[in-house]
C-alpha cells in the first residue's frame, strides 16, 4: 500500500480516475476479506485511486474494539489485462476511529513532576545541560569555586542549561508575568524575604524565605506578592471602607417639653347648632427616644 495512516471516506472525486475494471471488482474485494476469516465485513465505503494499475476498496470494520476502522483491499490489474488480483488487505483507522496517542520514545516519556521518592533518573547521555566540572562553565562564580576546591564537581550546569532554567523560571508561576506579581504592591528584589542566588543567576533570581508566601521557591526579582516585607496594613480596625457601628449600645435622650401654643378664638355657636362635643384634656408626657450611639472611633 502507498501509506498506512488513516484513510478517508471521501472517495467520490477520485472515482473518475479508477479504471472501471478495478472499480467494479467490489465482490472480489469483499470475498478476499471473507476468506480472511476475521468476522463479518461491513458496508462498502468506496474506492480510491492508487495508480494506473491499482485501486483500494474500503469496507466498514465490525470488529469489537475497532470503532471507526475500515478494511482496505488493494486490487491490481495490468494495463492491458482484464484480470484483477488482490494485492493487500489491511485494517486502517478511518476519520472517526478511536486510536492510541502518538508513540513516544521511552526516554521522552518522563515529564516534569513525575519523579517520586525513591525514583532514579539519570541525565541523558551527552546531556547538553551539563558540562564537565573542569570546563569553564561561563559562570564566573562557579568557575572560581571549582578552582578553589581543586577538582570541583564532576559536572556543572552549562550555559545552555542555565538559560533553559532561567527561561522556565521567568515564564513560570513565580515569574514577573504571573497574576500574583501583577497584583503585588512591590517586587521581590526590594523585599526583606528575598535571598538572591549566587553566580550569574543572581541578577534575576532569588529564593523566597517567607513561609506565608513563595517559601523555598525560586522567584524572579520582579515577581512579588502581598506578603512583601514593606506591606502596610490599612490604619484602623475592620474594613477601611466603613465606619465601625456598635449596635449593642443605645443612648437615652430626654427631649424638652413642647412649648404651649396660644388658643384659637372660639366663634359663637349658632342657636340651632348642636352643642359641640367636649374633647378630653390631653396631657403631654415628655417623650423618650432611643437613638443609636455615636460611631465609635476607628483610630
Ligand atoms: S514574600 Fe513575596 S515579595 Fe517577598 S520575596 Fe517572597 S514572594 Fe517575593
Nearest atom (ligand 1) to Cα of 184: 3
Ligand 1 atom 8 nearest Cα: 188
| Rounded Cα gap, residues 192 and 150, in angstroms | 35
Q: What are the DSSP E strand ranges found in 4-141?
A: 41-51, 54-61, 69-76, 85-93, 130-132
How do beta strands 155-157 and 130-132 pair? Answer: antiparallel
> What is each CA distance from 256 to 188, 251, 287, 294, in whole angstroms?
64, 16, 8, 21
Could you tell me if the CB of 207 is within 6 A of ligand 1?
A: no
Whether residues 85 and 141 share a domain: the answer is: no
Instruction: Supply the range of the domain harboring residue 54.
Output: 12-93
Give the list of residues 6+ apart from residue 104 with CB closer than 8 angstroms, or none: none
pLDDT of residue 242: 64
Residue whose C-alpha cell is 396631657: 283
Could you tell me if the CB of 220 is within 6 A of ligand 1?
A: no
Whether residues 85 and 153 share a domain: the answer is: no
d(CA 253, ligand 1 centre) in Å: 54
d(CA 192, ligand 1 centre) in Å: 8
Is 233 among the domain residues? no
Residue 146 C-alpha cell reads as 571549582
Residue whose C-alpha cell is 470488529: 63
Whether residues 16 and 87 share a domain: the answer is: yes
* DSSP category for residue 245: -
In a structure prediction context, what are the per-residue pLDDT tens digits for the chain, which is 299 residues long?
A: 344 455 444 444 445 588 999 999 999 999 999 999 988 899 999 999 999 999 999 999 988 888 899 999 999 999 989 999 999 999 999 998 988 888 988 778 888 788 777 777 777 788 888 877 666 666 666 666 666 555 566 787 888 999 999 999 999 999 999 999 999 899 999 999 999 998 889 999 999 999 999 999 999 999 999 999 988 876 665 665 666 667 667 777 888 888 777 666 655 555 444 554 445 554 545 554 454 544 444 44
Strand partners, 71: 59, 91
Could you tell me if the CB of 219 is within 6 A of ligand 1?
A: yes
| Rounded Cα gap, residues 241 and 264, in angstroms | 54
Could you tell me if the CB of 221 is within 6 A of ligand 1?
A: no
Whether residues 16 and 70 share a domain: the answer is: yes
Residue 69 C-alpha cell reads as 476502522
Whether residues 65 and 23 share a domain: the answer is: yes
Is 66 among the domain residues? yes
Residue 162 C-alpha cell reads as 542555565
pLDDT of residue 255: 85
Is 67 among the domain residues? yes
d(CA 232, ligand 1 centre) in Å: 14
Give the list of residues 6+ apart from residue 88 with CB closer than 8 angstroms, or none: 1, 72, 73, 74
Could you tell me if the CB of 218 is within 6 A of ligand 1?
A: no
For the stretch 11-26, what's the b/e string if a residue is b when 16 or more beta carbons lie within 10 angstroms of its beta carbon?
A: beebeeebbeebbebe
| Rounded Cα gap, residues 84 and 24, in angstroms | 10
Whether residues 208 and 135 share a domain: the answer is: no
Could you tell me if the CB of 181 is within 6 A of ligand 1?
A: no
Strand partners, 220: 205
The number of distinct structural domains making up the chain is 3
Whether residues 185 and 209 share a domain: the answer is: yes
pLDDT of residue 144: 67
Whether residues 144 and 192 share a domain: the answer is: no
Is 187 among the domain residues? yes
> What is each CA distance from 86 to 28, 158, 265, in whole angstroms?
8, 59, 130
Is 167 among the domain residues? yes
Residue in 58, 59, 63 with CA at minimum distance from that of residue 37? 63
The per-residue pLDDT for range 83-122, each reduced to its tens digit, is 999 999 999 999 989 888 889 887 788 887 887 777 777 7
pLDDT of residue 207: 96
Classify the C-alpha dihedral 192-194-199-204 as positive or negative. Answer: negative
Is 168 among the domain residues? yes
Is 260 among the domain residues? no
Could you tell me if the CB of 225 is within 6 A of ligand 1?
A: yes
Whether residues 150 and 167 share a domain: the answer is: no
Nearest atom (ligand 1) to Cα of 226: 2
Q: What does pTM read for this prediction?
A: 0.47
d(CA 204, ligand 1 centre) in Å: 14
Residue in 91, 104, 29, 33 with CA at minimum distance from that of residue 65? 91
Residue in 25, 50, 30, 49 with CA at minimum distance from that of residue 40? 30
Whether residues 22 and 84 share a domain: the answer is: yes
| Rounded Cα gap, residues 199 and 60, in angstroms | 64
Nearest atom (ligand 1) to Cα of 174: 7
Whether residues 141 and 181 share a domain: the answer is: no
Could you tell me if the CB of 188 is within 6 A of ligand 1?
A: yes
d(CA 182, ligand 1 centre) in Å: 13
Whether residues 17 and 85 share a domain: the answer is: yes
| Rounded Cα gap, residues 144 and 56, in angstroms | 69
Is 115 among the domain residues? no
d(CA 200, ligand 1 centre) in Å: 21
Could you tell me if the CB of 205 is within 6 A of ligand 1?
A: no
Could you tell me if the CB of 227 is within 6 A of ligand 1?
A: yes
> What is each CA distance from 66 to 63, 71, 92, in whole angstroms?
6, 11, 9
Amino acid at each position: 500500500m502507498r501509506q498506512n495512516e488513516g484513510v478517508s471516506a471521501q472517495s467520490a472525486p477520485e472515482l473518475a480516475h479508477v479504471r472501471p475494471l478495478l472499480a467494479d471488482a467490489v465482490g472480489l474485494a469483499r470475498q478476499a476479506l471473507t476468506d480472511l476469516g476475521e468476522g463479518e465485513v461491513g458496508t462498502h465505503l468506496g474506492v480510491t485511486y492508487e495508480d494506473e494499475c491499482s485501486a483500494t476498496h474500503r469496507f466498514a470494520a465490525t470488529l469489537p474494539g475497532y470503532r471507526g476502522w475500515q478494511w482496505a483491499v488493494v486490487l491490481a490489474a495490468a494495463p492491458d489485462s482484464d484480470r484483477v488480483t488482490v494485492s493487500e488487505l489491511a485494517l486502517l483507522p478511518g476519520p472517526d476511529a478511536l486510536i492510541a496517542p502518538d508513540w513516544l520514545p521511552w526516554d521522552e516519556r518522563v515529564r516534569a513532576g513525575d519523579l517520586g521518592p525513591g525514583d532514579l533518573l539519570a541525565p541523558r547521555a551527552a546531556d547538553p545541560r551539563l558540562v564537565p566540572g573542569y570546563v569553564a562553565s561561563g559562570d564566573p562564580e562557579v568557575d572560581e569555586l571549582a578552582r578553589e576546591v581543586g577538582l570541583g564537581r564532576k559536572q556543572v550546569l552549562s550555559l545552555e542549561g542555565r538559560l533553559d532554567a532561567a527561561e522556565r523560571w521567568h515564564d513560570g508561576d513565580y515569574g514577573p508575568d504571573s497574576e500574583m506579581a501583577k497584583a503585588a504592591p512591590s517586587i521581590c528584589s526590594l523585599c526583606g524575604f528575598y535571598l538572591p542566588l549566587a553566580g550569574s543567576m543572581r541578577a534575576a533570581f532569588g529564593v523566597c524565605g517567607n513561609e506565608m508566601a513563595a517559601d523555598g521557591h525560586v522567584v524572579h526579582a520582579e515577581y512579588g506578592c502581598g506578603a512583601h516585607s514593606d506591606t502596610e496594613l490599612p490604619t484602623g480596625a475592620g474594613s477601611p471602607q466603613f465606619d465601625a457601628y456598635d449596635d449593642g449600645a443605645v443612648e437615652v435622650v430626654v427631649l424638652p417639653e413642647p412649648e404651649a401654643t396660644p388658643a384659637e378664638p372660639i366663634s359663637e355657636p349658632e342657636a340651632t347648632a348642636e352643642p359641640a362635643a367636649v374633647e378630653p384634656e390631653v396631657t403631654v408626657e415628655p417623650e423618650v427616644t432611643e437613638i443609636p450611639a455615636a460611631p465609635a472611633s476607628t483610630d
